[in-house]
């Protein structure tokens, strides 16, 4: 099943590439990290389909509050 709470729909994710929405992007949840391999410090590069426990719905995401805990293939709630 495909997750709704992924990088593509996250407030902290900035996509790169086609119209700035993926398939790869930068996670801006925390400041850039300096490591022995990267002494300049950079934001982590993630795929649009990645996810983590820090996810927050993007204000521009039309999924709305009710969809936050559902998966894409779940049956819609009765109206």
* Model confidence band, residue 1 (pLDDT cutoffs 50, 70, 90): low
* Model confidence band, residue 4 (pLDDT cutoffs 50, 70, 90): confident
Asked whether residue 77 is domain-assigned, the answer is: no
**Could you read off the pLDDT of 10-63 as tens digits, one per residue?**
999 999 876 666 689 999 999 998 889 888 999 999 999 998 989 898 876 555
Cα separation, 39 vs 27, in Å, equals 18
Asked whether residue 62 is domain-assigned, the answer is: no
Domains identified in the chain, total number? 1
Contact 44, 35 (CB under 8 A): no
Asked whether residue 7 is domain-assigned, the answer is: yes
Dihedral over Cα of 56, 77, 62, 72: its sign: positive
Measured distance between the N- and C-terminal CA atoms of the chain, rounded to whole angstroms? 24
* Model confidence band, residue 72 (pLDDT cutoffs 50, 70, 90): very low
Residues 6+ apart with CB under 8 A from 53: none
Asked whether residue 45 is domain-assigned, the answer is: yes
The reported pLDDT for the residue numbered 63 is: 54
């Amino acid at each position: 099943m495909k997750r709704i709470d992924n990088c593509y729909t996250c407030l902290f994710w900035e996509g790169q590439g086609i119209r700035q929405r993926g398939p790869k992007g930068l996670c801006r949840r925390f400041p850039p990290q300096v490591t022995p391999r990267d002494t300049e410090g950079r934001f982590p590069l993630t795929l649009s389909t990645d996810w983590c426990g820090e996810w927050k719905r993007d204000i521009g995401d039309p999924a709305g509050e009710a969809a936050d805990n559902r998966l894409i293939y779940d049956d819609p709630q009765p109206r």
